[in-house]
Amino acid sequence: MDPHASLTRLSPADILACKGRKPIPALTAYDHPTARLLDEAGVPLLLVGDSLGMVVLGHPDTTHVTLDDMRHHLRAVARARTRALVGCDLPYRTYETPEEAVSAARLLMADGAGYVKAEGGSEILPQVRAILDAGIPFCGHLGMLPQHVLEEGGKYRIKGRDDAGRQRLLDDALALEAAGAFACVLELVTPPVAADITAACRRMVTIGIGSGPDCDGQILVTPDLVGGFPWFTPRFVQPRLQTGAAIRDTVAAWVTEVESMQSRERS
């Protein structure tokens, strides 16, 4: 019997109920075994993030990720049948209209998502409302928006450094909360502004990444946390392991062992 078969998946309401009670750890997952391992470790919130474009597919940024890419990896994660709530990013240019947003979100829900996430605030409110009206739980994403990195010259910039930026972020967060988003990722938002947003939003949890300690939860790209992508690590991450280096060293030692075995056989 599959030990995961009897588990009941956490709901968006369960995650929201953590606000003010206990911090929410969240991580990305892109495949079946990783999802099971993270679930067994007790992570309550998982995201099939479009960061897979860089750390799995080898693209320079998330703008190359397609809906088919996301569906493929989501289905693999969903097969783990986790207790953790699993969500999925709507990839670049799949939610330019409310109709497109709902169509893409429905496909992801059919593939096993428990919520969808999209980048932006007031400018995508029609899409957010349409998704929510379709009965699909929604998570926002404010601050540094990876899908817009090319529009910002390819640079990942910290947001909320001036009064205008702070107010814009706060207004967008409150608008997402009012629309019905249960959560919002705050990426590279200055910590004081992230703290302000967290305090102001009573019916939406904030999940920080590089935005200080005062959000309701924290999310990282799992390969960053465990050193699984050793060629680049964000400055705000301190890897707890170096799995990439360990794999490389282990395989190199095995290669040497095989080569020496063949040399002995020939001599």
* Angle in degrees, CA 241, 244, 250, rounded to 5: 105
CA–CA distance, 68 with 70 (Å, rounded to integer) = 5
Bridge partner list, 237: none
Tally Cβ neighbours within 10 Å of residue 93: 12
The alpha-helical segments, DSSP class H, found in the chain are 12-16, 32-40, 52-55, 67-78, 98-110, 125-133, 163-179, 191-200, 222-225, 243-266
Name 139's bridge partners: 117, 183
Which is catalytic among the residues 40, 100, 123, 187?
A: 187
Residue 40 annotated among the catalytic residues of the structure: no
Residues 6+ away with beta carbon under 8 Å from 159:
142, 143, 144, 165, 169, 188, 189, 190, 193
Whole-angstrom distance, CA of residue 235 vs CA of residue 51: 16
204 touches 182 (CB < 8 A): yes
User: Position of tokens 């300690």?
Assistant: 213
Round to whole Å and give the CA distance between 39 and 220: 15
Which active-site residues does the annotation give? 187
